[in-house]
Amino acid sequence: MRKGILSVVVISLVYLAFAAGFNLLPRSTYSELEKRDLMHFPSLTLDSLADGSFTAAVSSWYSDTEPYRDSLMYLSMHFRDLEGIRFGEQHIEFVSADADAAAESGEEEVVDPVPEMDTITTVQAFEYAESEGDAENIAKVASSGIILVGSGENVRALMGFFGTEKGGAKFAEAVNPYGAAFGKSVKVWCMPIPTSTEFYCPAEAAKFTKKQWPVFNSIFSNLSNGVRPVDVYSVLAGHIDEPIYLRTDHHWSPLGAYYAAKEFARVADVPFEDLSTYEEHVVHNYVGSMYGYSHNVAVKKAPEDFVYYIPTGVEYTTTYVDYTLDEEFHVTGESRPYKNKYFFSFKDGSGAAYTTFMGGDMKLTKVETSAHTGRRILIIKDSFGNAVPGYLFHSFDEVHVADFRYFTKDVTSYVDENRITDILFANNITNTCVPYTYSRFRKLLNPSDPGLSAFSCDTIPEAVRVRMRGKSYPEAEEECPVSWSDLRYLKLLYYDYNGRVRRGEMVCNKAISGDLMYIFKELYKAKYPIAGIRLIDDYDADDTRSMEANNTSCFNYRPKTSGSSLSAHATGMAVDVNPLQNPYVKGEVVEPESAREYADRTVDFPHKITADDLCCKLFRSRGFQWGGAWNSVKDYQHFEKKQ
């Protein structure tokens, strides 16, 4: 009897000790194993208390934030480490998304989004699969498991691939419109990236994945003439005896990215530096994302070196815009531009070493270099693409890096504003096979119409003044007939010659700012085509360059064309619209010279401004004179209003 009572007392004390530990010890807030922030204590409201959602949320918070969460999970994994499937001499283990739950239910698990992982989640997969009619394949991609190969310090974690040739063709169809949109003015490149499974999965485990080359072949064979393929598959296949992929992470290694960047530089015909010129840096004892995804202790026991390379012999400055995300990883805001380093350093053993490049994905990056090649590139990528840009600092004057999952800009306007010469799509092969990618690519090129609310009129921001000083506005303010306070900065929308909605900007005299807001809103509502609306400072205030680019502009402190007195543009009281098709003509003089074919106004051609043209009617209705009605000269692009 006494022994029974003693046993009950001991068990009770042990239970109380555990209970005290779980309730009194500090709660966990972040899981290094799962690479995520843990749940926050829920907010209490009358509604949540009444419908029971508050208590349910507290229960979820309690289990999610248990003290020493990672340590307990590590112990659990340790006991599971003996499980596995052996084929001959090799040790191969297949880890499902949730093996136990799948076994019990017989169904594929629906998981929460993990933004760091470059596979779409099951929830998202079915959401998009309904519209694409390919739910079976998308579900397989989403819930594919992880294959563990080898043992001891040589363990390699591989992510199953279940993409299809049909998916590859759809990816090409999503990229092709970029080639059509930019034509010869911008070179568009497509560089799909294989994952490690393609090269390191043993034949005995082939049933857990699919071959990737047929999808690559499908992508390349379906690209239009306006998009140039970059075949890094064949290049990487020649280096599989080198550490071109990480063993404990789902990404390739910086060395693999180097070989890919080298091949891109070759086909793009830009300078490229050999790896021997770079500084080598190492983060020892690195264990990457596959530990958290597989929940297998064997990965934890097989750390590796994370080796990356920093370019030398080139100067570069990096500017970031950070994105703020909500709980569902939707962008809700963005920071002001700020400067910081491109390569971030981490201590040995850090699981965050892959974020060495730019510090992560959720930002827009612009790197200005001293390359002086006249080329500027926009890389539209997923996280595989993070390791590529650093190898291109010798190749491009500017390297812009945008993650397609978070990028908020209109690509067409961004390319124009930053004078981009090349666009590179750098995406891992899994992302080429999911409808979410196709949807995002289409949206980035053809964003929804933001409406008239996007029009605005403000005093000149300091950032705009910096762009203008020494160009369209004199360094010494007293030299200009108008002060900064006399000018206004307009943000406008317009339809370009291809019928796409674009964003424009213009500086004008405050006396006509209301007129111009009205006129350009009416032109926008009528879908009146305008080639471009940019500050003339983007052309170094060179009126000829601006006209040759068919740029619509207003303020520019300069003399009259073919004269010495100040132009009405010098006070911001004149606007030039579509100048290439509507040139300045005086006798045999045509400006710009490249517009000579449009000097004969008896010929009909697109975008010609006449007295009956909507643009001319709108300006005249607000008291502007049209240069096309002058006698001694004809300035068909020109509208001005007397002060």
- What string of H, E and C letters represents the secondary structure of 299-361? HHCCCEEEEEEECCCCCEEEEEEEEEECCCCCEEEECCCEEECCECCCCCCCCCHHHHECCCC
Q: In angstroms, rounded to a whole number, what is the distance separating the alpha carbons of residues 289 and 154?
A: 16
Which residues are registered as beta bridge partners of 402?
364, 380
pLDDT at 124: 30
The least confident of 87-101, 150-164, 165-179 is: 87-101
With pLDDT > 90 as the criterion, what percentage of the chain qualifies?
63
Strand order from edge to edge, sheet including 638-640: 574-576, 638-640, 625-626
The least confident of 117-121, 476-480, 535-539 is: 117-121
Q: Measuring CA to CA, which residue among 294, 219, 282 is closest to residue 249?
A: 294
pLDDT at 150: 87
Is 80 in contact with 99 (CB distance < 8 Å)? no
Is 297 in contact with 80 (CB distance < 8 Å)? yes
Query: Within a 13 Å sphere around the CA of 170, how many CA atoms are in the beta-carbon half?
Result: 21
For residue 297, what pLDDT band results from cuts at 50, 70 and 90? confident
pLDDT at 55 over 70: no
pLDDT at 156: 93
Residue, of 120 and 10, whose pLDDT is higher: 10
Pick left, alpha or beta for residue 264 (phi over 0 → left; psi -120 to 50 → alpha; otherwise beta): alpha
pLDDT at 340 over 70: yes
Q: Output the CA–CA distances (angstroms, integers) from residue 488 to 329, 353, 492, in the order listed.
A: 36, 46, 13
For residue 137, what pLDDT band results from cuts at 50, 70 and 90? very low
pLDDT at 259: 98
For residue 56, what pLDDT band results from cuts at 50, 70 and 90? low
Q: Measuring CA to CA, which residue among 416, 400, 443, 446 is closest to residue 185?
A: 416
pLDDT at 87: 39
For the chain, the domains span 2-78, 163-242+251-282+311-445, 452-640
pLDDT at 643 over 50: yes
Is 141 in contact with 126 (CB distance < 8 Å)? no
> ω before 229 within 30° of 0 (cis)?
no
Q: In angstroms, rounded to a whole number, what is the distance separating the alpha carbons of residues 423 and 412?
A: 11
Q: In angstroms, rounded to a whole number, what is the distance separating the alpha carbons of residues 46 and 52?
A: 10
pLDDT at 109 over 50: no
Residue pointed to by tokens 């397609």: 404
pLDDT at 122 over 50: no
pLDDT at 328 over 90: no
Q: Output the CA–CA distances (angstroms, integers) from residue 28 to 31, 76, 218, 271, 292, in the order listed.
A: 8, 17, 47, 49, 16
pLDDT at 619 over 90: yes
For residue 341, what pLDDT band results from cuts at 50, 70 and 90? very high
* Cα-only R_g, the chain: 30
pLDDT at 456 over 50: yes
For residue 60, what pLDDT band results from cuts at 50, 70 and 90? low
pLDDT at 102: 30
Dihedral, CA atoms, 238, 242, 244, 250, nearest 10 degrees? Answer: 120
The pLDDT tens digits for 387-407 are 999 999 999 999 999 999 999
For residue 77, what pLDDT band results from cuts at 50, 70 and 90? low
pLDDT at 313: 96
Q: In angstroms, rounded to a whole number, what is the distance separating the alpha carbons of residues 182 and 402?
A: 18
pLDDT at 83 over 70: no
Q: Measuring CA to CA, which residue among 535, 563, 560, 561 is closest to residue 549?
A: 535
For residue 98, what pLDDT band results from cuts at 50, 70 and 90? very low
Token pair recorded at residue 629: 């009605």
pLDDT at 50 over 80: no
Is 247 in contact with 304 (CB distance < 8 Å)? yes
The pLDDT tens digits for 166-206 are 999 999 999 999 998 888 889 999 999 999 999 999 888 88
pLDDT at 140 over 60: no
Q: What is the DSSP string of 45-59?
A: -HHHHHSSHHHHHHH
Query: Within a 13 Å sphere around the CA of 518, how many CA atoms are in the beta-carbon half?
Result: 11
Please give the average per-residue pLDDT across 484-499, as a whole number.
93
pLDDT at 357: 97
pLDDT at 565: 76
pLDDT at 292: 84
pLDDT at 95: 62
Residue pointed to by tokens 């998916």: 167
- What string of H, E and C letters represents the secondary structure of 266-316? HHHCCCCCCHHHCEEEEEEEECCHHHHHHCCHHHHCCCEEEEEEECCCCCE
The least confident of 97-106, 164-173, 552-561 is: 97-106
Residues in the chain: 643
Q: In angstroms, rounded to a whole number, what is the distance separating the alpha carbons of residues 283 and 132?
A: 43
Is 318 in contact with 339 (CB distance < 8 Å)? yes
pLDDT at 204: 83
pLDDT at 44: 63
Neighbours of 223 (CB within 10 A): 19
Q: In angstroms, rounded to a whole number, what is the distance separating the alpha carbons of residues 132 and 144?
A: 20
Give the SS3 label for residue 505. Answer: strand
Q: In angstroms, rounded to a whole number, what is the distance separating the alpha carbons of residues 344 and 229?
A: 31
Give the SS3 label for residue 229. Answer: strand
The pLDDT tens digits for 564-603 are 678 899 999 999 999 999 999 999 999 999 999 999 999 9
pLDDT at 464 over 70: yes
In sequence order, the 6+-apart residues with CB closer than 8 A to the CB of 317 are 339, 367, 368
pLDDT at 410: 85
Q: In angstroms, rounded to a whole number, what is the distance separating the alpha carbons of residues 536 and 552?
A: 9
Please give the average per-residue pLDDT across 361-386, as a whole number.
97
pLDDT at 62: 58
φ/ψ of residue 138, rounded to 5 = -65, -40
Q: In angstroms, rounded to a whole number, what is the distance separating the alpha carbons of residues 459 and 62?
A: 52
pLDDT at 101 over 90: no
Q: What is the pTM of this model?
A: 0.63
Q: Measuring CA to CA, which residue among 264, 124, 152, 144 is closest to residue 207?
A: 144
DSSP code, position 509: E
pLDDT at 501 over 60: yes
Please give the average per-residue pLDDT across 116-128, as a whole number.
31
The shares of helix, strand and coil residues in the chain, as percent rounded to the nearest 5, are 40, 20, 40
pLDDT at 135 over 60: no
Residue, of 66 and 342, whose pLDDT is higher: 342
Orientation angle between helical segments 135-143 and 122-132, nearest 10 degrees? 160
Instruction: Kindly report the average pLDDT of the chain as a whole number.
Output: 84
Token pair recorded at residue 294: 């597989």
pLDDT at 144: 38
